[in-house]
Structure 1
Amino acid sequence: MRYTVFIADLLIYIPALCLYIYISNKCENSKILLTSLSILLYPGLMLIDHGHFHLGLALWGILALFSDHDILGSVAFTLSLCYKQMELYHAWPFFCYLLGKCYHNKKNRLLKLINIALSVIATFAVCFSPFLQRKEDILQVFHRLFPFARGLYEDKVANIWCSLSVLIKLKEIFSLQSLLLLCLVCTVFSLLPSGLNLIRNPTFLKFKLALANSSLVFFLLSFQVHEKSILLAALPVCLLLPDYPFVSFWFLMISTFSMFPLFVKDDLVLHYFSTLLLFYVVVGITFNLTPNQPSKNQFLPWIYPLLPYMLVLSLAGCLLLNVASLVVIPPPDKPDLFSVLIAIYSCIHFVLFLTYFNYVQFTVNSHTGKSSSEKSSQQTSPKKSIQIPANNNRKIKKQ
């Protein structure tokens, strides 16, 4: 690993993550270190996207919103978006969450919205000011930000369009403009329910769930998707690990598996297996990897006792495809057989995860921040706002 990459992580990503885990107070003090370590050891970010500033800046934005510093959060996220346009995957939840907070703030509703809008516009203006001198520079920036000429997807990505192309050759049937319109319509309509729900009830837990939903929708349905774009969904799911450890762990394992062809290409197969094993051990020590007990009104309550067995079968399928892709020689006319199988297998999981996270976002209690199943088994408590005092002691202020 280059020293510059490691320094970038030390300065931006790791401090934001550790500080978020510390002040979020979602786990016991003795587990704060283990929780941070569990997320830092997530193999996807460790092996593929280490050192990308946009994830660290986005995390600082999430942390600022958690601490009710909305303008700072807006600036941090805008910086991440200016650095990497793929942060558009997270833009819709940021917009809906801030809009919902402004709408429900009856005293300074308009003033708060104007301040946030001005901070975002000013940040964009500063970042793009070097390119605003000539029209050619502006057009080149947009061409680089939105490389539509690259096609619908790159390589064998685990999204819906790549999986459908096995049966329907979309690139041969539709023109580039038609594919762009198809992706736009499908993405927008899939984003609307989660975003509107967040505007109506802008709680921080719903915000994290909406981040996962939005990034999964973009990954599955948008135009020009790369295999490692799943890491944009993995970031909010990492933050959901203390809230929903079982399903979050499952998702993080599958997301790493979906990038296996990249690990093979980069000669990281040994690193892939070793980091997955280490991640499993640390998460298993830190969290209780059992599904939440369903309430009587829970959707499909009969499926919950089967989830541990489904997890085992799911990961066994991953291992089988990993080994087969390494030792079995594919037919000469199908050189990408195992890459396609891995993509389809992962895509099925991601569609189910998207369905689950949307269901949880809509059923989570708007006031307590707990799902209906958690509410039935635990005594609810009012939402807390965390403030960081000058010393190292944490102070919790009830609203």
Structure 2
Amino acid sequence: MNCKISCETWLVIFGTLLAILLRCCTSLHPYSGEATPPMYGDYEAQRHWMEVTTNLPTNQWYVNTSDNDLNYWGLDYPPMTAYHMYLCGRAANLINENFTKLHDSRGYESDTHKVFMRYTVLIGDVFLFIPAIILYYQTTVKIGKTQDNEIKKKKQKSSKTLNEIKPMNASLSIVLALLYPGIILIDHGHFQYNCISLAFAIFATTLRVYLSLGKVLFWGILRLMKIGTTVIVMFMIIWYPFTFDLDDFELVLLRQFPIARGVFEDKVANIWCALNVVFKFKTTLDNYQMMRICLFTTLSALFPSSVDLFLRPNLRKFVLSLINSSLAFFLFSFQVHEKTILLVAIPVLIISIEHAYRSSLNTQDGLAEYYRSLLATLLDIEYKKATQLDILKMTYQQVIKNSDALKTLIFHFAIPPTRYPDLYPLLISVYACVHFVGFFVYFNVKQLRIPQQFEDIKNVKVKSS
């Protein structure tokens, strides 16, 4: 029996093992809030959510009580996150009940607990994020081959396709995506579970690409009703435990939409934080005024890309629309989380700019040196892959890398003025915001300039193998 494994498969296997190794090595470094009471950091936040969900009834998870102080890392993520924390908490209790003992486990840190927490993230990566990345590229290669065959049949050899991805290029893209420093450092260094939500987003994207967006839009009323019913039923199942009391349900919604916390926190690299330097939004306008402004600007930013995709659907527009919608929400929405940029970084891997914005976070967690090592490795691989890029693009990338190196030196060695202790994080956020706006304009223009007949999504048929 012929059991030969192709070079492309070996590359994916090696890249996957290397990605897992880097994640394990990163987990040996400091995490958010390590040994820094009283609030500690995101590591403690995740542990505390396990404590809350495993010791309190569901209707108290989002409610401020004597057993659940919302001022101490109160649960403010959607129910799916709460269920995930519940499962992790149950597993923690099987190992050591002190991990999640109500009240007494606050700030709990031990070597065994650190290993457990790190493994919970790694499991999510290995069983969800990594397969999602591999499946996405395999699907795009399959669609690309289908499009090429259809074009050849129509004798349109001069036309391009969305996925002119050769197997080797697809394999290298998988490796690059798995080695992306943003996911590795934020999840396995800083400590969070972004890999899980991003994996579901990638699975959803893959499903939409495979089924063909045009068919989804034009299937007809019956199939639209089926899809809508499925979404509604799943939503009801997820939210069912919180619907017994309308007051409790309202409290859960208020935790998901923290209007009282203001339009932004910390130094997030979006429009409102950047413009706040010249116009004090947080002090001039109240939160409800800002909420309406954010709603209007976000919808306005989404409008061109979304309408274009609806009226002239094709696969390339779909991918670009994902980038544009993610950037629109990141730049203009109310109370955006800084790690939301990962929703942009995953589809396009905007390494040169996006990594600069995370520098203050990496420095706080003591991960700056390891971050630079990871980045150097990834950029070296990317450079070897991108040798065919034109001079202008390569020059731009080099300028960005050099400016980031200069920024890193200033950030780590220059002491900010006493009057402005947050000067450097703010400058980094403004610097990143300017580039994000530039990318937002660029990707919108790029999408709008693509004609519909270019890889018409309604004509793409993917046969199951």
Please point out which of 346, 350, 354 is paired with 1:235: 346
Q: By how many angstroms is 1:101 displaced? A: 4.1
Query: Does the Cα contact within 8 Å between 2:177 and 2:346 map onto a contact in 1?
Result: no
The separation in 1 between residues aligned to 2:392 and 2:216, in whole angstroms, is 42
Equivalent residue number for residue 44 of structure 2: none
Among all aligned residue pairs of Structure 1 and Structure 2, give the percentage whose two residues are the same amino acid.
Answer: 35
Partner of 1:32: 170
Aligned to 1:386: 462
For the structure 1 residues 322 and 37, does the alpha-carbon distance in structure 2 shift closer, same or farther, using more than 3 Å as the test? same
Q: Is 1:61 aligned with 2:204?
A: yes
Q: Give the length in aligned residue pairs.
A: 322
- 1:308 is displaced (CA, Å) by 2.9
Among 173, 179, 183, which residue is 1:45 paired with? 183
Q: What TM-score, normalized by structure 1, do the two folds share?
A: 0.76
In 2, distance between residues paired with 1:289 and 1:162? Answer: 37
- Cα contact 1:198–1:207 (8 A) shared by 2: yes
1:102 Cα deviation from its structure 2 partner: 4.5
Q: Give the secondary structure class of the aligned counterpart of 1:312.
A: helix
Distance (whole Å) between structure 2 residues aligned to residue 152 and residue 140 of structure 1: 20
C-alpha distance in 1, partners of 2:304/2:279?
A: 28
Tell me the residue number matched to 2:255.
144
Inter-CA distance 271–385: structure 2 relative to 1 (3 Å threshold): farther
* Cα distance between partner residues in 1 of 2:119 and 2:424: 35
Q: Does 1:368 align with 2:454?
A: yes
SS of residue paired to 1:133: coil
Alignment of 1:327-346 (within 5 A): 327-346=413-432
Equivalent in the alignment of 1:283 = 382
Q: Distance in 2 between matches of 1:268 and 1:289?
A: 33
Q: What pairs with 1:95-244 in structure 2 (closer than 5 Å)?
A: 101-103=215-217, 105=218, 108-238=219-349
Distance 1:367 1:153, change over 3 A: same
Per-residue displacement from partner, 1:148-178 (whole Å, max 9, x unpaired)? Answer: 1221112111111111111111111111111
1:319 paired with 2:435, answer no
Partner-residue secondary structure (3-state), 1:152: coil
Report the secondary structure of 1:386's partner residue: coil
Q: Which of the pair has more CA radius of gyration?
A: 2
- How many angstroms does 1:276 deviate by? 0.8
In the alignment, what sits opposite 1:273? 372
Alignment CA distance shift 1:382-1:187 (3 Å) = closer
Q: Is the 8 A contact 1:201 1:366 kept in 2?
A: yes
Residues 29, 265 of structure 1: alpha-carbon distance in 2 compared, 3 angstrom cutoff:
same
What is the Cα-based RMSD across aligned positions, in Å? Answer: 2.1
AA paired with 1:13? F
Q: Give the TM-score normalised by the residue count of structure 2.
A: 0.66
Matches of 2:283 and 2:368, distance apart in 1: 34
Q: Distance in 1 between matches of 2:187 and 2:122?
A: 12
Q: 1:306 Cα shift? A: 3.6
Q: Are the equivalent residues in 2 in contact too, given 1:367–1:382 (CA < 8 A)?
A: no
**Which runs of no fewer than 5 residues in structure 1 stay unpaired?**
71-96, 239-250, 292-304, 371-380, 390-399
Letter of the aligned partner of 2:279 in structure 1? Answer: I
Aligned-partner Cα distance in 2 for 1:101–1:196? 17
CA distance in 2, matches of 1:172, 1:306: 43
Contact 1:101–1:202 (CA under 8 A) maintained in structure 2: no
Contact 2:139/2:206, CA 8 A, preserved across alignment: no
SS of aligned partner of 1:126: helix
CA contact (8 A) 2:317 2:450 kept: yes
3-state SS, counterpart of residue 67 of structure 1:
helix
Q: SS at the partner of 1:387? A: coil
CA, structure 1 residues 383+309, in 2 after alignment: closer, same or farther (shift >3 Å)?
A: farther
Equivalent residue number for residue 359 of structure 2: 260
Alpha-carbon distance in 1 for matches of 2:370, 2:128: 24
Larger deviation: 280-289 or 40-49? 280-289
Q: Report the CA distance shift for 1:130/1:264 in structure 2 as closer, same or farther (over 3 A).
A: same
| CA distances 1:362-389 after superposition (whole Å, capped 9, x unpaired) | 112323349xxxxxxxxxx996543342
Structure 1 distance, partners of 2:378, 2:339, is 19
Superposition deviation, residue 29 in structure 1:
1.8
Cα distance in 1 for residues equivalent to 2:361 and 2:455: 37
Long gaps (5+) in structure 2:
1-26, 28-117, 142-162
Amino acid in the other structure paired with 1:338? Y
